């Protein structure tokens, strides 16, 4: 089944809502606001590809966090499959955080 652009947009919004429920255990801010999600691609068939990073390559949740993201996104209605790519290029830095995240961490 092919989805319309509007349906894809709705799926995308739902995915972002779900991503905002996933937290880096060391920082009290969700991974979306932290800027750890580099890209979310959704095909017409609702196959999702997420490109994300971690705050550091040696992050203690390097094994569990990507799996948690994949599992939660897979539960979004109409999502057919989730392909998650972990990258460290470009490496994450605090400039990638949203204004909200910087404010919450007292950086503004």
Residue 37 lies in a domain: yes
User: What pLDDT score was predicted for residue 28?
Assistant: 87
Torsion-angle region of 93 (φ positive above 0: left; ψ -120 to 50: alpha; else: beta) = beta
pTM: predicted TM-score of the whole model, two decimal places? 0.92
Mean pLDDT across the chain: 94
Residue corresponding to tokens 């652009």: 5
Question: Residue 47's beta-bridge partner residues?
Answer: 81
Residue 11 lies in a domain: yes
Residue 20 lies in a domain: yes
Residue 97 lies in a domain: no
Residue 29 lies in a domain: yes
Residue 102 lies in a domain: no
Give the domain extent around 24.
Answer: 5-88
Question: Residue 48's beta-bridge partner residues?
Answer: 42, 82
Average pLDDT over residues 74-100: 96
Residue 108 lies in a domain: no
**Helix pair angle (64-74, 5-19), 10° resolution:** 140
Residue 75 lies in a domain: yes
Question: Please, is 95 exposed, middle or buried when counting C-beta atoms within 10 Å of its C-beta (0-12, 13-18, 19+)?
Answer: exposed
The structural domain count of the chain equals: 1
35-52 core/surface letters (b: 16 or more CB in 10 A; e: else): bbbeebebeeebebebeb
């Amino acid at each position: 089944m092919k989805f319309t652009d509007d349906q894809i947009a709705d799926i995308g919004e739902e995915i972002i809502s779900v991503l905002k429920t996933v937290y880096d255990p060391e920082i009290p801010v969700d991974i979306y606001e932290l800027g750890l999600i580099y890209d979310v691609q959704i095909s017409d068939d609702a196959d999702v590809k997420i490109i994300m990073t971690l705050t550091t390559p040696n992050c203690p949740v390097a094994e569990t966090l990507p799996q948690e993201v994949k599992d939660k996104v897979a539960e979004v209605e109409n999502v057919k499959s989730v392909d998650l790519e972990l990258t460290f290029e470009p490496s994450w830095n605090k400039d990638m955080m949203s204004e909200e995240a910087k404010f919450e961490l007292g950086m503004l």
